[in-house]
Chains A and B, each alone.
Chain A
């Protein structure tokens, strides 16, 4: 019972963070599936989305019911613009150039955020219903913690249906399977890629609202860590696979949160005399998982096997 009571809050927040990672991870996994590009800028799109929210609500005093759709729209626009400006001109360039371009976009967005915020921590506005405190099985938490996993699952179900049932969804699958052939078949590859970025940024925008509601503030590098973790989640689940990204997001969120609380849990249950400060490794553990999965199952949990062509 002691074990359950001490573990529960960590488990809850783990599931919630996991859901947020899952939403970001979808953006990574879809882009990678089609362009074979680690979109390093995605993490910063997520951060910029949060900053837009801060400025929309605190500086411009826009009411929330307008601000939320506005911010999501801006995020989508940003994702779309990045693809247009930084990735499309490099379509025929080697993969490494595109990746470097992604890193440069990320660098630019961070520096821009640094300039605009002056490097100060910006408090994220509280969204009334989401940031209310509630009690789940004697553990106090914000409502967003409980809402996140359900919202994530709902969005993913809609997305999967979109990809399976609609025409553009079919085109996406075709492009992911074989870039050149689908172009020959008359699919407008460029608009499919734009659509991918739009969907990815839309989900990152929603994810950022959920993430930062539970988080003290926004700084220019706030996106980096969640972004890296979401990417790891995408690799863990099998890059290119949407259910895989969601699974990976939850696994990583829960592991991270449990490690944050591992000292408390171990001490409370009497397994450990004094704390070992294991919380330091909550971020690093994600990468341990990454390396383990890359070594033992490089295609990820749900990924497809790709044969190497010479």
Chain B
């Protein structure tokens, strides 16, 4: 009990320190600095961490191999964007269509309640995005969750493609703007305290905060009795059922919750990316997230978070030089040209998958390793005789 309290306290302190660091960096780094990239990749990794954890909930903790993530993210992103587009710019966004949805939640609530209302409106839109994704997941769950392993994977992948096609359908243009991008909605960069030049930018903080809150909820779920039921299903379906766990119900719960957070992640990706277009949510996006989950360790939340940060930092920032001619001081524009970064990157992933099959963390969490290192440092190695006895 005491141990648990110390652990919780440590996490809270760690998170507060993280928030403080993010806020501090955001004030110090100017948009023109070379370090400004740090803020961009932090935002993106927050989004990917959330989506990876939501996928891990399904693939790692419940043992349901689902590849529908991109589809649920797409729904979250679209729902969010549609309900937050500025009413003045609606006509220019829906240039080819007569838009049907004419509500902008942040504006409506902001008009009534000021900036608090605006914030509530944005949050509502994000949650709505998650709910739409969860609702669709609920419906998809009926046929799909009866399938096993690979078949489930391929069926969910298929559903993601169907969803993408539906959102691009011209007949739905008045709602989704068909294949054209949605823009002019509330973005991360709109989060500021104050106005004009003196405004304090808090966009990175908002992204990190949202991700942390959502991941926290998922962790609480995993530690609850539902989480234990999920793990039981992962270990052995037949045994779990024999122990009185309703398989279908629990799979459905895991699927809907995972999709909800994928939807929220999609909404955050929309906030990050400034435009939303169905064509960006292809199966490759799901595969990237799956690779993050595998790299971090299937069944480890902190592993997914760390892997997401590494994945995004490496692919978007650290290895940039491989694309633009100069890397680690070596200048070779003939080899280091566009795309080389991704080649190196994917070969690296390949090596991890072949030689470090359990990923970064296996199925353990960060505190386990902290404790492990501490034990190594404080206790001396037992003598050979003792170890055998």
Contacts and interface: CB of A to CB of B under 8 A. Distances in A.
By size class, the interface of chain B is 35 or more
A284 B71 CA distance: 13
Interface of A is mostly: helix
A62 B153 CA distance: 42
Nearest to B287: A103
A13 B360 CA distance: 48
Contacts of A235: 151, 154
B370 interface: no
Interface string A71-110: 0000000000000011001100101110111011111101
Contact of B161 (A105, A221, A228): A228
Interface residues of A, number: 49
B294 A231 contact: no
A291 B357 CA distance: 31
B291 A107 contact: yes
B154 A280 contact: no
B149 interface: yes
B338 A119 contact: yes
Interface of B is mostly: helix
Given A104-B349, A228-B157, A294-B147, A284 B166 contact: yes
A38 interface: yes
Contact of A111 (B170, B345, B354): B345
B353 A101 contact: yes
Interface in B126-171: 143-144, 146-147, 149-151, 153-155, 157-159, 161-162, 164-166, 168-171
Contacts of B151: 235, 294, 298
Contacts of A232: 154, 158
B298 interface: yes
Contacts of B288: 107
Contacts of A85: 354
Contacts of A115: 337-340, 342-343
12 contacts: A32-B150, A89-B354, A101-B353, A107-B287, A108-B347, A110-B284, A112-B346, A115-B338, A115-B342, A221-B282, A231-B154, A284-B166
A118 B339 CA distance: 7
Contacts of B157: 228, 287
A288 B162 contact: yes
A296 B194 CA distance: 59
B158 A108 contact: no
Contacts, number: 128
B83 interface: no
Interface string A264-297: 0000000000001100110110111011001100
B65 interface: yes
Nearest to A36: B150
Nearest 10 CB-CB pairings of A with B: A287-B158, A115-B339, A284-B165, A277-B170, A111-B342, A108-B346, A284-B162, A114-B339, A295-B143, A111-B346
A214 B150 CA distance: 32
B252 interface: no
B355 to A, nearest CB: 8
A1 interface: no
Contacts of A298: 147, 151
Contacts of B340: 115
Given A100-B294, A235-B151, A290 B158 contact: yes
A310 B146 CA distance: 17
B350 interface: yes
Interface string B254-293: 0000000000000000000000000000111001101100
